[in-house]
Structures are given as C-alpha cells and as structure tokens.
Structure 1
Amino acid sequence: MAEPPPGGHRPGPGPFPGTAARPTSRDVARAAGVSQATVSLVLGDKWPGRVSERTAGHVRDTARELGYRPNLAARNLRLGRTRTALLVVPALPHEFFARVYTGAATVAAAHSFGVVIYPSPEGIGPAKDPFANAQAALDGVIASSIPADALAALRGTDLPLVMLDSDPDESGAAAHVNFDIAGAMRMITDHLLGLGHRRLVHLASAVTSWTFAERADALARSVRDTPGALVRTVTSPLEVHEARRAAEHALSGPGPRPTALVCDSDILAAGAVKAARKLGLRVPADLSVTGFDDLALATAVEPELTTVRLPAEQVGEQGMAALLAILDGRAPRNTVLPVTLVERGSTAPPPH
C-alpha cells in the first residue's frame, strides 16, 4: 500500500482512480476547528457582525490551503438564483461603457457572479427583454445612462434594478450610482471663466437624457452668475464628423466669434478641434476647447484635451456592489462619485 505524502494525509477516494476527493465545507470546518455554519457564513460573505475578523481570515486561509471550491450549481439551486446580472448600455462600441462593464464584471467575479452586457438596439429608447424570460435567466439588472421608462420590459419582471448615471429622482430603481455631473460642468466653466473667457458655445449632445440635461443646466447657472458672460448652445449627434459640422457653424456665424467651446464629450471636442483647424483657428491661442469623460481620445488629439475624468470603472463596481447588497437582503447605498478636472493643452486665456 502506498504511503501518504510526506507531511500530509492519504488522498481519499476521488471520482477517478488516483485522484483526491474534492474537499467539502465539512472538511474546511473540521480543519479550521469551527462549525460548518461558520464556514458557510464566511465563504458566503455573510460573516460581518456574526463572526470575528480573525476567525473569518482563518477559515478563508484553511479553505485556500485545502483547495476548496464551492459547488456553485448546488448553491444556485438552493438559493434559487442564476448568479447572473444584466448590464444594459446605450451602445457597446463606446469606450466609456466598456469601462463600466469592466468595473461591474470585476466585482461580480469576486462573488462568483457573471455579467451579461446588452447594448440596447434603440440607444436610450425602449430596451427589449433579450431573454424569453428574464426573471428565470437573471438575478438583477444594472442600467447605465438609460432612462428607467426605457426599461419597462425588464422592470415588469420585478427584478431588482440599479441605475447608473441617471436621474436620482427616478423612483423605479432600487439604487442609484451617479457621477457629480453638475460639479463636473462647474469645474470646466470655472476653469474657462477664470482664464477670462466670456463668449462660450455649448456643443451639446443631441441625446435626450438626464446626464446631458444636467450638464446644460450647470453650465447655464455658472454663466448666469458671471457678469458679461454669455453662452450659446449648438447640438450635435455624438459623432466626430457631425460635431465638426456643428462647430464650424457655431464659429462662422454672425457676431463676435466665441472664444471657447464647451463640449458634452471628448468625441464632440475632437470634432470641434477639427473644425477650428479647417477655419484656420489655432487651439488654444484663438479658441479653447474642453471635453468630458477623459476617454483615450482626449490624449490622441493635438493639442490634448482639457476634460473631466469620470471614474467609469468605479461606477460599474459600485453598481454591482449595490445589486449584490439587494440580493443579500441589505439596504443598498445611493452613491455620488467625485470627478476630476484634467487640464491639458486645449485651453488658454482668450486672444486679445
């Protein structure tokens, strides 16, 4: 008979000849010297307030040493869950929403959850249920930058809904995670007004949503409180070519030329920079341009864009954490995430 491995135990009968049996939660409890209930609390992330931090760490270390892996299929059957969340976004190719997904998926994976991303075919319009029965296929829904009324097909399933970058007064969601959008636009406006700009054009997104309406309101309030400052609004689809055309129109119109373009996104700002070049204007010597989001595009254009950095991955993380809290029977937190102004080469004092 073969001897046990040095310093170890003889492998038990496994599912195949020559393999060890898969360790169970009972094995972890026995090795750690605690009850099986304690192991379940710790490995199910329900130990805070019930088990000491020291004991929880000991149980996790023991489970790791034994190579314990939870039987997710059995757990899901017992809990009646699929351990899957749906992330609904307006458009998949957009870098911003890819970052949101990355944040949500990272937190989900740490809790043995999966995230299915669903780009709504209608943009921010009505999102159809992508499943024959969403309630049977999902545990909850996270929606980024989409109005709650566009999610009627999914809300009718009674699945918990967490909304990101959306109207905090919308009552159809169990939790909201937002950026400080108004504060972000105030940062941009204060930066430009501080440089001496008084003739501004708001190159606004043509998308009708809370986040863009909030930007417009914050910009109007900031300018209204500054003597001699004026702002004119021009709208454009979220596309570089269309933004270039809209900016050309704004810069070529009658009256004194604006000295700064405040853009609702880095995509629109890139179009504004192209428009300035076509008209023979120098950025920032003749015209300052600001973006919003701090996408990779912000440093790909020349000059690099002054913009506001939105922590997209963090909003995905917080959204998934809120959904997990709801599924665990805990009260989720409504969160407003801080933003950062990133000053680069596209802004300067206005020309004399």
Structure 2
Amino acid sequence: MAHGSLPPGGVRPTSRDVARLAGVSQATVSLVLGEKWRGRVSERTADLVRDAARELGYRPNLAARNLRLGRTRTALLVVPALTNEFFARVYTGAAAVAAEHGFGVVLYPSPEGVGPARDPFASARAALDGVIASSMAAEALTDIRGSDLPLVMLDSDPADPGAAAHVNLDIADGMRQMTNHLLALGHRRFVHLASAVTSWTFDVRARALATALGSVPDAVVRTVPAPLDVGSAREATERTLAGPGARPTAIVCDDDILAAGACKAVRRLGLRVPEDISVTGFDDLALATAVEPELTTIRLPAERVGERGMSALLAVLEGRPPGQGDLPVELVARGSSAPAPVG
C-alpha cells in the first residue's frame, strides 16, 4: 500500500485522506466506496482503497452520498405551521407526486414559524435527499440542509439565491384581480388588513394593492397589521372602524382567516357585510364558504404548488432543469363583496 500522511488525531478522515493513503485519486475512492468501480479500476486498486478506508476508520459522507445515489428517497417539506389549511394542501400535492416516483415526504412544521428552522432529528442531512420549504426564506433552512441538500422554495422570494428551484404563485396578479373587482364596484375607501407575519408573500400582496390603488386618484387605503388569527383580526378591525375619519367601504384582507375576523368585527359594531362594508379574503380555504356571507377571495391552487415543488426537486436530483413560470390564481366572487354604499 502506498502510504501518505495520516490525518491528525481526533480529526475525522476525509476521502482525500483515503486517496492519499491508497495512492489514488479522490474520484477513484468515490468509485470504489460507491461500488461503481468494476470495469473502471482494477481489483487490486479497489482493495487498496478499501484497506486504506479501514485503516483510517473512514466513513463516507452519507448526506452527500445519499444525494448522489438517491438512497433514502425521502424529501422533507418544511412549513411555518400546521394550523393553516394551505400547507396541508401543499403537502397533499407533494406527497402524490412523490408516491408516483417511489419517494416519501416527511412534513415538518418549523417551531419558529417563518424563522430559522431547527434540525428535526439527529441529522436530517443524513436521512434526506432534499428539502422543500413553503413560504420561508432559504437562510431559515441552514440548520437542516447545510450545504449538502438541494432546496426547493415554494411561495417565497425568487431572488433568494439559496435555492436550487423556486415554485411561486402569481400573488401580485391575485391582488390586482381583487383590487380591480372592488374598484369596479365603486369602492374608493379601503382598509388593508395585513398579516403581521414578515413574509415575502405578504409583502407582495401589500405592494400589489398599493400599486393598483396608486393609479386611482380618489382611492385611499389605510394599512392595519394583525396577527394571523380570527380573534386578533376582529380586534384590529373593531379598533379601526371605531376610530376617527370616514368609514372604509371595503376591507381587503391578506388571508381568509383575517377576513373571518373582520366580518365578525363588522357585525359586532352593528354593521352589515356587504351592504355597509365589503370584506375580501385570500387563499380560498374551506373557511371561505363556512362563514356567512361566503367570502369573496383569491383561489390559490395549493395542491399544484406541492406537486410542482416535488417535481422540481426530482428534476434537480436527476440533473434536469425544473419547470418555470408562476402558477395562475383566480378571483372567486361571493357574497361578501357588493357595490360601495352611497355617501
């Protein structure tokens, strides 16, 4: 055996150390330890590599090896929470495509919401082929994926450089559709009940609404942030409607959950939806048709997001370019929006 320098005591040996000790290239080490050497290197060379690996106590990097070979056939889907139906539907779509390709999807709600996600088990990188993250930033996934695992980001900033692929909805167009719907009904005084969660998708909604209304000279909008739950939305709306100034004729909500809270606030103040105030949502959750009147909202194809996300990860793992283009969204007009009241 050709002996080179051994790694210092206490330092985990690398494939480079094995190559040096065996007197071969790192590529040869990879072929032998990956059981792809037959017909490419001699039996004697393969023995040299295996002997060197045993002598050094070398163990292959499972994360990198699994990524190359697809051995685990498992993807991790990270979401900010399980309390929102949208993410459950994303999982349904991802799992369906995964099953068609012999993959499994593990669903992981980040304990920190959209903040940094902790590694869910001893070493996620050694047990996964890739990570899919919905409505989060790439930097929040560092502890899970390190630099080894490919990341596909869903409903997230397409300018974020940490992802191998992006799958987005046309959120801005959804807000434009909603704004145009309300403007056509004669609304000019708006409240934007905005999610207090810091997230790219909510920032896009705010910018799109401001841009759409900015071209209408007599339109005014007041932004009111609220935590993403019905009770907080109700309280924020009650404070806003009870405050000074002209009453808004339309409340544009970032989410159906916020819209449900806004509807409760309107009724508690003795007003009517939509006769006195129109209220609109975003997402088209099951909640949208459970409230009365049913919500006018933007339908997001959450299952398609999951399907496209898993398909993109499979493409990355296979060295193919992932699909491009935002998924279209759709205005669903229901009973919570109506012509603006006169006066």
What TM bracket, shorter-length normalisation? 0.7 to 0.9
For residues 155-170 of structure 1, the aligned pairs below 5 Å read 155-170=145-160
The one-letter amino acid paired with 2:323 is R
Partner of 1:291: 281
Structure 1, residues 70-127: CA drift from partner, whole Å, max 9, x if none?
xxxxxx8993520000000000121110000000000000001000000000000100
Q: Is 2:221 the partner of 1:231?
A: yes
Q: Provide the C-alpha distance between the structure 1 equivalents of 2:127 and 2:90, rounded to a whole number of angstroms.
A: 22
- Find the partner of 1:202 among 172, 192, 201: 192
Partner of 1:154: 144
Structure 1, residues 272-330: CA drift from partner, whole Å, max 9, x if none?
00000000111100000000000000000000000000000000000000000111111
Deviates more, 1:144-153 or 1:267-276: 144-153
Q: CA deviation at 1:157?
A: 4.0
Partner of 2:107: 117
Unaligned runs of 5+ in 1: 1-75
Structure 1, residues 175-232: CA drift from partner, whole Å, max 9, x if none?
0000001000000000001100000000000000100000000000011101100000
The one-letter amino acid paired with 2:247 is R
Q: Provide the C-alpha distance between the structure 1 equivalents of 2:285 and 2:163, rounded to a whole number of angstroms.
A: 28
Partner of 1:265: 255
Q: Provide the C-alpha distance between the structure 1 equivalents of 2:67 and 2:243, rounded to a whole number of angstroms.
A: 65
Partner of 1:20: none
SS at match of 1:186: helix
The one-letter amino acid paired with 1:257 is R
State percent identity of aligned pairs: 74
Aligned partners of 2:125 and 2:145 also within 8 Å: no
C-alpha change, 1:78 and 1:120, in structure 2 (3 Å) is closer
Residue correspondences, number = 277
Aligned partners of 2:94 and 2:308 also within 8 Å: yes
Aligned partners of 2:67 and 2:317 also within 8 Å: no
- Find the partner of 2:298 among 295, 308, 312: 308
Partner of 1:176: 166
The one-letter amino acid paired with 2:84 is H
Q: Is 2:260 the partner of 1:275?
A: no
Unaligned runs of 5+ in 2: 1-65
Q: Is 2:193 the partner of 1:222?
A: no
The one-letter amino acid paired with 2:300 is L
Aligned partners of 1:148 and 1:170 also within 8 Å: yes
Partner of 1:317: 307
The one-letter amino acid paired with 1:236 is A
Q: CA deviation at 1:333?
A: 2.3
Q: Is 2:97 the partner of 1:103?
A: no
Aligned partners of 1:131 and 1:137 also within 8 Å: no
Aligned partners of 1:322 and 1:333 also within 8 Å: yes
Aligned partners of 1:188 and 1:307 also within 8 Å: yes
The one-letter amino acid paired with 1:346 is S
Q: Provide the C-alpha distance between the structure 2 equivalents of 1:189 and 1:182, rounded to a whole number of angstroms.
A: 11
Deviates more, 1:294-303 or 1:156-165: 156-165
Q: Provide the C-alpha distance between the structure 2 equivalents of 1:77 and 1:215, rounded to a whole number of angstroms.
A: 36
The one-letter amino acid paired with 1:282 is R
- Structure 1 moving runs of 4+ over 6 Å: none
